[in-house]
Amino acid sequence: KTFCKKQEGLQNMSRFANVADKLDFAAEEEKTLAYWTEIEAFQTSLKLSEGRPEYTFYDGPPFATGLPHYGHILAGTIKDTVTRYAHQTGHYVSRRFGWDCHGLPVEYEIDKKLKITGRDMVLEMGVANYNNECRSIVQRYTGEWEKTVTRLGRWIDFKNDYKTMDPQYMESVWWVFKTLFSKGLVYRGYKVMPYSTACGTPISNFEAGLNYKDVNDPACVVSFPLVTDPEVSLLAWTTTPWTLPSNLALCVNNAFTYIKIIDKTRQNKIFILLEKRLSQLFPEVGKADCTDEKRAELYDVVERMTGDKLVGLKYTPLFQYFSEYTDRAFRVICDDYVTEEGGTGIVHQAPAFGEDDYRVCLLHGICAKSEDLPCPVDANGRFMSPVDDFKGKNVKEADNDICAVLKAAGRLVIKEVYNHSYPFCWRSETPLIYKAVPSWFVAVEKLKAKLLVNNTQTHWVPSFVQEKRFHNWLADARDWAISRNRFWGTPIPLWVSDDLEEMVAIGSVEELFELTGVKVTDLHKEHVDKITIPSKEGRGDLKRIDEVFDCWFESGSMPYAQLHYPFENADRFENGFPADFIAEGLDQTRGWFYTLMVISTALFDKPAFKNLIVNGLVLASDGKKMSKRLNNYPDPNIVLNKYGADALRLYLINSPVVRADSLKFQEEGVNEVVRGVLLPWYNAFRFFIQCVDRWEGLNGTPFKPDVEVSKSSTNDVDVWILASILGLVKFVHEEMTAYRLYTVVPRLVGFIEELTNWYVRLNRDRLKGVSGEQEALLGLNVLFEVLMTLTQIMAPFTPYFAEYLYQNLRQLQPLYGNTDNAVASDLSGKSASVHYCMLPAIDQSRLDPRAEARFKTLQQAVTLARIARERRHIRNNLPLKSVIVVAANEDDIEALEYLKGYFMGEINAWDVSLSTEWETLCALKVMPNWKDLGKRLGKQMKEVAGGISALTKEQVIDFMTTGVMEVCGFTLTKDDINVKREFNGDTKRFEAASSEDGSLMIAIDTTCDEEILQELRARTFAATVQKLRKSSGLVVSDRVEIFYEESGDGVVTKEGVSTLVSAAMLKHSSSTVKRIKSLPLTMELCSKQAIIIIKEVITDLDISKKPITIMLTQPCIAVDIGAVALLIDANSSANLTPPGSVLNTPNMAAMYLQSMDYDRLLSLESVDVTIDNIALVLKKGIHYFQSANEMVLSSNFSNRNTYPNLPT
Give the amino acid at 46. L
DSSP string, 571-619: HHHHHT-SEEEEEEEGGGTTTHHHHHHHHHHHHHSS-SEEEEEEE--EE
Question: At residue 180, what are phi and psi to the nearest 5 degrees?
Answer: -65, -40
Q: Residue ranges of the alpha helices (H) in 88-166?
A: 104-114, 119-125, 127-137, 142-151
Q: Cα separation of 1015 and 1103, whole Å?
A: 10
Catalytic residue among 100, 479, 1038, 1120: 100
Residue 808 host element (H or E): helix 799-809
d(CA 463, CA 689): 44
Residue 1172 to residue 1132: CA distance in whole angstroms:
10
Q: Residue 1033 CB: number of other CB atoms within 10 A?
A: 10
CA distances from 174 to 171, 180, 288, 561 (A): 5, 10, 63, 9
Measured in whole angstroms, how far is the alpha carbon of residue 327 from the centre of its chain? 62
Residue 1112 CA to residue 251 CA, distance in Å, equals 95
147 is catalytic: no
Residue 61 annotated to the active site: yes
In sequence order, the 6+-apart residues with CB closer than 8 A to the CB of 119 are 200, 379, 380, 485
Q: What is the DSSP string of 164-214?
A: TTSHHHHHHHHHHHHHHHHTT-EEEEEEEEEEETTTTEE--HHHHTT-EEE
Distance CA 1143, CA 464 (A): 93
Is 930 labeled as catalytic in the residue annotation?
A: no
Closest CA to 483 of 441, 532, 543: 441
3-state secondary structure of 645: helix
Contact call for residues 42 and 157 (beta carbons, < 8 A):
yes
d(CA 1186, CA 1166): 13
| Pairing state between β 459-461 and 609-615 | parallel
Alpha carbon separation from 42 to 29, 37, 45, 89 (Å, rounded):
16, 8, 5, 16
Cα separations in angstroms, 228 against 312, 435, 785? 11, 33, 94
Check 36, 552, 681, 918 and give the catalytic one. 552
Nearest to 817 by CA among 38, 13, 15: 15
Report d(CA 1173, CA 1184) in Å as an integer: 21
Quote the crossing angle between the two packed helices 1060-1067 and 1010-1031, to the nearest 10°.
90
* Residue 811 is a catalytic residue: no
DSSP-derived pairing of the beta strands 618-619 and 663-664: parallel
Q: Report residue 497: phi and psi, to 5°.
A: -80, 165
**Active site includes 242?**
no
How far apart CA 295 and CA 286 sit, in angstroms, is 11
CB 578 within 8 A of CB 610: yes
- The one catalytic residue in 264, 396, 625, 980 is 625
Q: Please give the Cα distance from 118 to 127 (Å, whole number).
A: 13
Which residue is catalytic, options 88, 280, 562, 588?
588
5, 628, 704, 1030: the catalytic one is: 628
552 is catalytic: yes
Which residues sit opposite 1111 in a β-bridge?
1043, 1095
**Side chain identity at residue 1004, one-letter code:** I
Catalytic residue, from 59, 61, 423, 892: name it: 61
Q: Is 1030 a catalytic residue?
A: no
Angle at the Cα of 699 from the Cα atoms of 698 and 700, rounded to 5 degrees: 100
Residues with catalytic function: 61, 100, 552, 588, 592, 625, 628
